Structure 1
Amino acid sequence: MLLLAVLALTAADSSTPAPIYQRTDVMEITRKADMQTVDGTADYFTGKVTITGQFQRPDPSRVSGAIARFEPGARTAWHAHPAGQTLIVTDGVGWTQVAGGPKLEFHAGDVLWCPADRKHWHGATPHEAMTHIAIQETVNGSPVTWMEKVTDEEYLAPLGKE
C-alpha cells in the first residue's frame, strides 16, 4: 500500500464550522498487484466466481465492496443487502432478478441498483463471463444476508420485460 499526503484545504472564512466527520491527512491506495483474489464459496455461489480487492471502510463509513468475476453459468445465491447494493458492470453480459420480478439482462457499462432488503441474485449468462464492482453498506454489522441457491430452473427461465 502506498500512502500519499493529501493537501489540506483551507476555508475561505475561518468562522466556518468544522465538518462533523474526522478528517485525515493521507490517501490510501491499494495497488492492483497487492490485491488478493479468492474463490467465491460454494455456500453462496454456483459455478466459478472470483472476488478481488474486498474492502470494508472504517467508521464512520459503512461502505464495503469488491470486484467479482463470474465465469459463464456462474451466479450468486439469493441474497439481500440491508442498505441496498450498486453493481457497476465492467465486462461481459449478465442476468439479475429481484424476487417476484422479471429476470433482466445487463451489459458492460451498465449500473444496477437493488433496493434495500430486496431478495435478488445476479451472475453471468450461460455463454459469456461477466465482471462487476459491487458496492454496499454494512448495517448492524453485516452488508449481506445470504439465502438459498438459485435453482437451474430459476436461472434458465426466460428473460422478462423491463
Structure 2
Amino acid sequence: MITRIKTLALAVFTAGLFLMLGCSSKTEQENMKTNKEELVTIFPKGQKGPKANFTGNAYNIGLVEVDSVFTTAVGNVYFEPGARSNWHSHPAGQILIITDGVGYHQIEGQPIETIRKGDVVKCPPNVRHWHGASPEVGLQQLYIVPNTEKGIVDWQETVNDEQYFKQK
C-alpha cells in the first residue's frame, strides 16, 4: 500500500513538473516572439530624420558631438520597419554597429546584405551606400563617422522600392 502511494505521488509530481515546464516553455517562446517585434532601446529615440534623407520613420540622436579633439561623430539611429536612408557617402567612411533588429545594407554595385544585432559594417570613404530596417522588423544602429574635419555626409537620391525589395 505504501509503495502504491509513493508511485502515485511520484506520478502526480512528474505530471505537475511536465505541466510547469510546458507552460514555462510556451511563455519563453511568446517572449521571444515579442522581442523580435519590439527592439530593445539603449538610447533615447531622438529626432525624426528629415524626409529629404529617409524613407519611412527613422530617428537619430547624436551621442558624441563633433569637436576638434576627437574629430569623430557617434550617434544612434532607430529605423522603424521598412524605413531606410537615401543613398549617401561619407568623406572619411563610416562604421555601423547593429545593436538590435534586422535590416539591410548595400554598397553601390554590390548585393544587398542582411544585417542583424551584433554585426559591424564598414562603409569605405566616398563610397555610395544605404542602410535601413527590414520590412517586418526595425533596426537600431550606432554610427561612427571618423575624421569629421573631412566632412560628415553627402546625402543623395532616395532608395526606391524596387532597389529596397531587390533581394539576393
TM-score, structure 2 length as denominator?
A: 0.70
Q: Distance in 2 between matches of 1:107 and 1:136?
A: 20
**Counterpart amino acid of 1:139?**
E
Q: Distance in 2 between matches of 1:107 and 1:51?
A: 19
**Matching residue within 31, 41, 45 for 2:54:** 45
Q: Distance in 2 between matches of 1:46 and 1:40?
A: 9
Rate the CA distance shift 1:74–1:149 in 2: closer, same or farther, 3 A.
same
Task: Report which of the two has the higher share of helix.
Answer: 2
**Counterpart amino acid of 1:81?**
H
Q: Distance in 1 between matches of 2:77 and 2:155?
A: 16
**Which residue pairs with 1:60 in the alignment?**
69
TM-aligned CA deviation for residue 158 of structure 1: 1.3
TM-aligned CA deviation for residue 54 of structure 1: 4.4
Q: Give the paired residue count.
A: 126
Rate the CA distance shift 1:36–1:152 in 2: closer, same or farther, 3 A.
closer
- Answer yes or no: is the 8 Å Cα contact 1:36–1:53 preserved in 2: no
Q: Which has the larger radius of gyration?
A: 2
**Which residue pairs with 1:148 in the alignment?**
157
TM-aligned CA deviation for residue 37 of structure 1: 1.5
**Counterpart amino acid of 2:116?**
H
1:128-143 equivalent positions in 2, closer than 5 A: 128-137=137-146, 138-140=148-150, 142-143=151-152
TM-aligned CA deviation for residue 103 of structure 1: 0.5
**Which residue pairs with 2:95 in the alignment?**
86
Rate the CA distance shift 1:36–1:88 in 2: closer, same or farther, 3 A.
closer
Determine helix, strand or coil for the equivalent of 1:61. Answer: coil
- Stretches of structure 1 lacking an aligned partner (at least 5 in a row): 1-31
TM-score, structure 1 length as denominator?
A: 0.73
CA RMSD of aligned residues (A): 1.7
Q: Kindly, what percent of the aligned residue pairs are identical?
A: 38
**After superposition, what is the alpha-carbon deviation per residue over 1:68-109, rounded to whole angstroms, capped at 9, x for unaligned?**
000000000000011110000000001010011111101101
**Which residue pairs with 2:167 in the alignment?**
158
Task: Report which of the two has the higher share of strand.
Answer: 1
**Matching residue within 105, 112, 132 for 1:103:** 112
- Stretches of structure 2 lacking an aligned partner (at least 5 in a row): 1-41
